[in-house]
Amino acid sequence: MKIVTWNINGVRARLGNLTHWLTESAPDIACLQEIKTVDEQFPRAEIEALGYNVEIYGQKGFNGVAILSKLRFDEVIRGLPGDDADEQARFIEGVFSTDKGALRVASLYLPNGNPIDDEKKFSYKLSWMARLERWAEERLMLEEALVLAGDYNVIPEYIDARFPENWLGDALFQPQTRQAFRRLKNLGFTEAVRAVTDAPDTYTFWDYQAGAWQKNNGIRIDHLLLSPEAANRFSSASIEKHVRAWEKPSDHVPVAVELAFAPI
C-alpha cells in the first residue's frame, strides 16, 4: 500500500497537476495540505472520477487539509484536540480496514511559526506541536498501524537543508522546534525517509523565490512518522522530486512510503 503526503499549495490552482500526479503515482492514500479552499469548492468530482474517496477539512483562503483514498473510510476525525479556540484547519485523520487490521492515517499541516519574534506565531507553532505530542501519545496506546503524514514545517537536522546557515533564525529550524519534533518521534515513531537513507539531498521543499529550485536550495520539511505496527511493514520511501519541475508546481513535492498492507 502506497501512502503519500503532499503540500499542494492550493488545490484549485493545482487541479491539473493533482489529477496527472494521481494517475502517474497512483497512491492508495494521499494526504494533502494547504488546499486553501472551503469544502464546497474542493474539486471533489474530478478526484472521485479517478476512483478516490475524498474527505476534506477546508478553510477559506489558508490552510486546509484532505485525505484521498482508494480505500473506504471507516471513520474520519477533523481537527487536533487540545484547544477549542483554534479554528485553523490543519489536521484530519482517517481510519481504514486492511488485511492486517486497522490502519489510521493523519494529514497534518503544522504551523509555520514565522517570524520568531512575533510571539503569537511562534508560540502557536510550539503549542500546536505540544498538542500533537499529546494526541500521538494517546493514539499510540491503541497499538494500531498509524501514519502521521504531512508538512511539519520542521527541518529536523543540519543535513536537511542545503544551506542550513540560512535557516538559523527561522521558526522551521529553531532549537525548540527541533526538540519538539524529536520528542514526538521519540514516543516510538520511525521517520520513514531517514530510516532508509542518510543522503543529504532529500529535500521536499524549494521556495519559489530567488531561483531556489534551480540552485537546489531546498529543505526537508515534509515527513511521515510510522507507529511500530506500521514501521514493521514499511519497505521503502521515495521523494517524487520530478513534480517540482512541472509547469505551475507546488513549492513542495510528494513524499511516499510503501507499507505491506492490503485493502479488504
Partner DNA sequence: ATGGTTGGTAGCCAA
> How far apart are the C-alpha atoms of 203 and 224, rounded to whole Å?
14
3-class secondary-structure state, position 176: helix
**Residues 6+ positions from 160 with CB-CB distance below 8 Å:** 200, 202, 203, 219, 220, 221
**x/- contact string, 112-131, with DNA (CB under 7 A)?**
x-x------x----------
Between 122 and 261, whose beta carbon lies closer to DNA? 122
Residue whose CB is less far from DNA, 13 or 195: 13
The answer to whether residue 117 is catalytic is no
User: How far out from the chain centre does Cα 72 lie?
Assistant: 20
User: In the set 111, 150, 156, 254, which binds DNA (CB under 7 A)?
Assistant: 111
Q: Which of 28, 52, 57, 109 is catalytic?
A: 109
CB 144 → DNA: shortest distance, Å? 30
- Piece of 46-54, 74-82, 109-117, 237-245 that binds DNA (CB under 7 A): 109-117
Annotated catalytic, 86? Answer: no
User: Is 100 among the residues that bind DNA (CB under 7 A)?
Assistant: no
Q: Residue 263 carries which DSSP code?
A: B
Interface residues for DNA in 10-29 (CB under 7 A)? Answer: 10-14
State yes or no: residue 174 binds DNA (CB under 7 A): no
184 φ/ψ angles, rounded to the nearest 5 degrees: -60, -55
Among the listed residues 28, 52, 57, 151, the single catalytic one is 151
Asked if residue 134 binds DNA (CB under 7 A), the reply is: no
Q: Give the DSSP H/E element, type plus range, for residue 137.
A: helix 119-140
- How big, in percent rounded to 5, are the helix, strand and coil portions of the chain? 30, 30, 40
Judged by beta carbon, residue 9 or residue 227, the one nearer DNA is 9
* CA–CA dist 237, 128 (Å, integer): 27
Q: How far is CA 250 from CA 49, 125, 137, 165, 182, in A?
A: 23, 22, 32, 24, 27
Among 49, 50, 248, 262, binds DNA (CB under 7 A): 248
Residue (of 171, 134, 180, 166) closest to 153 by Cα position: 171
Residues 198 to 237 in contact with DNA, rule: CB under 7 A: 208-210
Q: Which is nearer to DNA, 114 or 238 (CB)?
A: 114
Name the site residues for DNA (rule: CB under 7 A): 9-14, 36-37, 60-63, 111-112, 114, 121, 208-210, 248
Q: Which residues are catalytic?
A: 109, 151
